[in-house]
Structure formats: structure tokens, C-alpha cells
Structure 1
Amino acid sequence: MTHSSVHGEGTRRGVRRASGAGQEGGRRGDDGDGSGRPSSGGGHGGRRGRRRQARRRHRVLRWSATALAVLILGTAGAGYLYYQHLNGNIEKGRRSNADSKARKTEPNAAGQTPLNILLIGSDSRKSDANVSLGGGRDNRDNPPLADVQMLIHLSADRKSAAVVSIPRDTRVDIPACKDPDSDETYPATNEIINTTLGRGGAGCTLATWENLTGIYIDHWMTIDFAGVVSMADAIGGVEVCVNQNVWDRARPNVPGGSGLKMTAGRKKVKGKQALEWLRTRHAWGSDPLRARAQHMYMNSMIRTLKSQNVFTDGGRLMNLAEAATNSLTVSEELGTVKKLYDLGMQLKTVPTDRITMTTMPTVEDNENANHLLPAGADAEKMWAMLRDDVPFDDKGAKADAKPASPASTASAGRTTDDPAAADDEIGVLVQNATRSATLGPVSGRARDIARELVGNGFTQATTDTSAALAEERTLVRYPSAELAGDAQAVAKSLGIPAGSVRKSADVSGVTVVVGADWRSGTAYPKQKTPQAGDLPSNSDAINGSDTGQCMDVYEPYQW
């Protein structure tokens, strides 16, 4: 028995060695764990069956893991390729094609900055699709016009948003612009704002807005006729409303018309009909009323998108992504899917009742009854609210109703530790910029303010004798950090707020620019700080949650 036991142990050791070399079936004394203990299942066949099942389970797990790895890698690869495909869809252009006096907003006390995006609707007919949708085949080679222009302002705290339209026939100062493709330079001019797109592209439109408003605009986006149709289809329709049957068509002595034909009431428009709604002007009665119809459409579109859970619907999301990336041309720093997605997520956080759509207040142009001009103080009040990041609505908390930091301060007007030189050592140039869109210049203003500065001890103050400039708001500009203290000392002596002191590459020394807001007197007039919701009455404001809006139809276009 002892010998038998020893022999059995030796046999088991041999079996383990053979098994290790790949020989199977010799491990009859083992139950699979190599312990040599008897199997609880009885005979040798049961033990072999369990060993085969274990090996099969191992092979299945190994193949499952391999298949999963291939699936993950394949999906990731497809996702990457699709991401690259979407990126390839996006057309891009230079952010600005002209000199601008606007400076990027500094962060507020919480480290937040507002975001400004210029949305431009182009009437370009360069493609067959745009010709078929917009007509005007004979105008195919004409420069595009920026017939829709809206500034979207997202507050620094991302709790509210404001949209301001400028009607396309508004006459403004347009700076010299350079076409980024042809390098052709277009001289500065005073013309209606929709011509800016054909004078160097969207970057020229952006620079015009910045010079008009004093607001730094971070990005632009353009969309053409075909893009509007594509986006409207991808969204699935947007509800609009008319109080009377409407047919916007050509009439005697009134050519054109969008072709929009609808019965009274509420209806979802998509595709070509959505484009017709956005292009309609005659049937509403004026260009500002066309802006109102566009605002109603945008508010309805935002409410529609918020109600659709597209981020859990892969097919819908892909359709929207394809439509958006194929429809939009954007400024180059915004030209990736990720950046567009991040922008969308920021806009998504704003509740609809904190979105306010407005139109810049205008007056009739005394040189051309078909054109408009910015309405002086009312228009400037809106721009001041945006510069100061003051909400257009009054629905926020009291803390939201106060500007986090004055806009001008954000534009480089903060107090500085740079010490000022002695007053009589500071060179100051004074410019007369009292001309505005609606008022002519006041003669002698630069001379009067220079004399006041000399009387205050700034004996090196002189006047700029060049042609009168145009600036809605009085500013003190300086070229470099070492002159910041000097500029602030000059501003303080005249009562100009520190927020109106700005660093600027357009000047070579401390320069006082006497704007249209200071047309008389030698002490800068006190400026009222705008409050939340304190919009001019002629801004035609519409709240984003207002579902009761409905357009009236001008009688000749009713049917």
C-alpha cells in the first residue's frame, strides 16, 4: 500500500509534467485544481466534462473580449471619421477685415465675460440652389448683401441673452475693408449697412458693427437661402402666426415679394416656406417689421429646439449636425464642431423668458426716405446696456440687474497703478467727434475742451484740425500702458468717467475724443447708468417665452 501510494504520487507528478507539455487525459487523479483530491462528481467522465466546459467558457470570454475591443475601436474610428467629416463641412473666414476701435471685454469680478456673436443672412445667389430659392438669376454675379444682421449677446453669467437687429437699409459709417480673398481694399464710406458683406465679407460687416456700437464681437456666422431651408427642414418646422391671410407678391410699381402665402392663424413653416417668412417685407409694411417677424421665428425656433430632446435621438442629432455644418460659414476661431457644440451648450442654458429680441431704434434718413438712421440717444442707450452687460429684461435677481463691471471698464478703462506725469508735462490731443448719424458736428468743440484742459494745468493740450469725426460716446484714448495714468488724469480733470478711458492702437498719445454725447459745456455731462429692462420704448422688444405674438398683414397683401 505504501509502495502503491508512492507510485501514485510519482505518477501524478509525471502527469502534471506531461500536461504542462500539452498532453491531455493523464491527469486522472486530479479534479482540475491539481490538488489530487477525489472529484465530488464521481467518475472520470464527469471531471473531463467540467474541464472542457471551463475551457469553452474561457475561449468564449476571450473571443467576446476580442470582439468588444474590435467593436469599440471600430466605433471610435467611425466617430472620429464622422467628426472629421463634419469639420470638413464648415466653411471659415477671417473674423475682421477692417480697423476697429472696439476692445475685447475684460472678465468681471467673477472671472466671467459676455459673448457677442453677429448672425448675418446673405442674399448671395452664387449657387444654383440660391438662385432657385431667391430668384434674381440676372443678379448671380452681384456682390452679396447682408439683408439680415443680428447681434446675439450672451451675458457674462450666462443667465440672459439679448438680440439686436439693425434694419438692412440703415445708413452708417463703413470703415475701409480689405477682401481676404482678392486683397482688394474698399475705401471707407457712408452707406446702408447691408452693402458691407460685398466689401470684404462678413469681417467687414463685423468691423462696421464694432465701430458703430463700441462692442467687441467675438464671432460671426453667415447663412444663405439654401442654408435657411436646410436648417428649417432639419428642425422639423417652426410655428409662426398671421392675423390675416397673407400673400407677399409683386404688385404694380412694387416689384419683388417673397412669395409667402398663408391663411390667417398659426402654422408650422419649414423648408422654402420658412425662407419666405424670413424674407417677407412688403406684406409686413416695413423693414423694422420684417425684423419683428424674424424675431418671432427665432423665438419659436428656440422654444421648438428646447422642447425636442435631440441629444438622445442619434438620427435627429446627426441630421441637425449635417444641416448646421453645411449651412453655416463662421469666423475661423469658431470653425470646429466642438466649438460650435460648446457655443450651443452655452446658449442652451439661457431660459426662454430671459431672451429678449429687439431692433435698434431708427429714424427716417433725411437724405433718402427709403433709408433709416440710428436714433441717436435711444440707439446709444441700447449699445451702452450691451457694453455694460445690463440685461434687456428685468426678470433676473437683483444682483443680475446691476452691471458686473461697466462696459467701458471692460474695454480697458480700469484704474491703473501707473503714476501720471505732472499735468503740464502731459501731451494731449483733442478731437471733435460730435457728428452723429442724425446730427451734424458742433464747430469749435475741440478748441473749447483744449482751452479747458490748459486752464486745468494741462498746458500741452492742442486741437486736431482734421475733418470732424463721428463718435457717439466721448472717450479718452491712449496707445500704451505707460500712458494709462496720464490718460486717467486727463479724464478726471474733465469729469469723464474712468470707464471711458481706453487703450487704442489708433492714437500716438493721450487723445480726448469729444463725442456726440457732449455737444456743449466744458464739464462732461453726467450719464445715467442703465438699469435692467430699461430699454427705449421704440426698441420693439419681444420676450422669448411670449407665444402670443402674431403679425399684422399690410392691407394690399391680404387675400
Structure 2
Amino acid sequence: MATTAQAATFPRTRFKARAIPRYTIRDRLLFVVALLTFGVAVFYMAGGLLIRAYPALFPGETVPFIGKVLSPLPGPVGVNQPGASSVFNKRVNLLILGLDKRPGDRFEDAYRTDTIMVATIDPVSKEASLLSFPRDLYITYDLPDGQWSGRINQSYLEGFQREGTIAAGAKQLAHDLEFNFGITIDHWMVMDFLGVEGIIDSIGGIDIDIPEELAVYNWWYSDEGGRPPEYVTFYPGEQHLIGYYAVAFGRSRESSQGDLDRVKRQQLVVEAALTKVFSLSLLNDPIGLYNAYKDTVKHDVAAGEMPGLARLLQASRGNLQTYSIADPVDGNPTVYGFETAGGAAVLGWDPENVTYWLNKAFPKTSYSGAAVEIQDGFGEPMEDRDEALGRYLRFAKGVPVVYIGPERTTQATTTITLFREGRRELAVDIAGWMGIPTAAIITKNPPDESYPDVLIAIGQDFILPDK
């Protein structure tokens, strides 16, 4: 018999305990971390290759046009980094790993990681971002006995096999992320993606408004667990889904757009879950919450750090942006497939595009929300001189918004004008990259709000900086 999601009468699973144990605030708050991050990447994975992840759930703001725009970026607020030990004034980077773990398997066995992402929590902007890595990304392992290359999803296994612990596996992958991409990991968390349905059940399920184009009809579904396979249907309109069916809906590719529609379904599940989380007091049922996650999450977060981290999570209110390091940039592919000498199919990557995504996910404080305008005063035509500088600032240096302004009267030297004192560090950095003395920065008050923070006027001495 086909099971459908039409009726909103799926039972809400409630976890019960025979005795009431004393769970610490650390235990309970780790659940919140898990819940805020579970749905963003591939805990709905059907076992296939994840080449790209998901667009941002909440697109950033754009600023008004000033002349010809060069693909302006959203401008989330950054934080001071690195810096003091308090979580209230520094960004916290959390490595989240989802293991390819089947029902009946133990955490303590070695698995490759099917989900690899870094969550970064910003105490200033009250936002959280996640950067995902495809499992077949080709990286260098920096090991105690030397270096060699392979898929990123084997880095965890290298550490685990060397020392036989989950912590060793997570630390090895954290080290390799820093070695290859410069990402410093503060803490790690290892999750069992099959436990997501229990987490959703612990909040009483979720409510989703399914559009017609994302409806699913008579799909033969199995979670490879204890439940027998069945036909499931998810009708258009308002639906209440318990964990099992929420996971099933998010895993479905049964529509014309395949993986693209699956991404949209996952976004609906994430948005619904976050809405539910922040409409409830999550600690009202600590036994149910703890039981939902205790067998699915391992971590290294110290008890003393939990109160501050909890305040960060509460302040974020689910304001989440997601990125994939494998996504194209301006239509240019970031990853490409090739076969290693040993016959393994892997993904190579373009360093410039990867740098772009790193700058998006981990913005520098002094650049956050900044706008830079470039005007060409070289005096003779040249192919995209100003746009080449714009791409350098955006991709190589992480300047959030770069505009191409009108051409200007020919001038001998390149100048930098600072219109807002709060952006001085950015102006100083630009001067350093371009070989211009800091003392030569011109400071002016902006005539009106339409002026950029920093104006670069290209002169006849202009040389594009090295990347």
C-alpha cells in the first residue's frame, strides 16, 4: 500500500526514559548545534557523489549600482580573527562530518566521510555560514610519515587508522583543511546522518508547504534501515512530516530536474526545521532531545565553552547561509574530473575560484559590507584593465563589492581615495597590494551616500598585482 504525506496525521514520535538521568547543559546544547547544522549538507544523501551543495538560503543584500557593476557580492558582517579566546569576539569554526554509517554499525569503526562541511558562527553579525566540500575533492594529506594525495573523504580514515580513535580522524581532516585551504578549525563534530529523523521527531516534526513542481508521487523509498521499503507520495500544499518522511522528501530526485529539485526540497526541509527550532524552547523536553542525538553526535567541545557557544546559537536565530567550494564562479567551473595514475576518479579544483568561496564563507572584519569603485584613468584603451583589477580584488583578496565606474581624465599615477574612515584598513591593504605608499592615500568626506568606501583611480603607472 502506498504511504502518502497528504494526511497530517503521522504520529509524532516521543522519546521516553524509565529513569530521569542528569544531563549537563553541555549535552543539551550540543543538540542545538547538531540541529542547526544537520539539514544543510548531505544528511539526506542517497549514497551518490555530491559535486555541488546548496545555494544560500538567505541571499545577502546588494547595494545600488554605481556605473557598470562587476558582479557585486553580498556583504555579511565579519568578526575579528584570529584573536581573543572568548567566543564573543572571535569567529568559531566547527568541522562537521557525516559518516557513511549504516544501521547496526558502530561509530568506533573506520568510515569514510560522506559529509564534510565547516560551520562558521559570527558573534558580530549573528549569522552562521556553512561551506561544503565534495567527497572526491583531490587534496594533499599532510601525515606524520610524509605527504601524498587522494580524495578528501579519506583524510578522516587516515587519522583513524593511525590511532584508532574518532578524535584522531577528525583532527587529521581538520589539519588537512588548514594545510590545503588555510581554514583553522576550533572544534569538530562527527554525526550519523541516519539520526536526523530522530532529531526532527524530537521537535514534533516539521511543517512544509510543498509547491506543485516539487511534489513526489508513488516513489519507492528505502532508508536502508529497519523499516521495510514502501511507496511514498508527497502532495502539493501544506504537509506535516515526521522525521522519516522529512528525510525521504529531502532525498527524493523524482522529478524532471533531478538533483536540482532535490536541492530545493532540502532547502524546504532546512527552512521548516529552523522555523520550528526557533519557535520552540528546545530544552522543554531535555530527555527527548538528548535521546534524539546522543548516539549520533561525537564532539570535542569543552563544557566551559558551551555557555558562550549557546548564546551565539541563540543570537543567530537560524540566519544561515550555505556555500559549496565546488560551485562555479561567474559561470566558470571550480572543479573538474580526472583520473589518477591509480585509476581513481577524483575532482581537481581551480585555486582562484576556491579562494573566492573561502573569502565568501570567512570574510575579514574590515572588509565586511565594504564597496570599492574602480575608475580607469590610464588614458588609452585596454582590454578590461579595470575589470582585471576588480577580479583580483574580489577573488584573490575577498573584497565583498567591487564596482567599475566611468572612465576618467588621464592621470600619471594610480591613486586611492578613502571616503569613510571606518574602511581605512581596507584602503591600506589595497595600497599595499598595489605598491602604493600608505601616505599617498587621499582622505575625503563623501559628498553623498552614493559614494563608495574606497575609490581606485587607475593611472599610467598601473601594474596588475600578482595573485
- Structure with the largest fraction of strand: 2
If you compute each CA radius of gyration, which structure gives the higher value, 1 or 2? 1
- Structure with the largest fraction of helix: 1
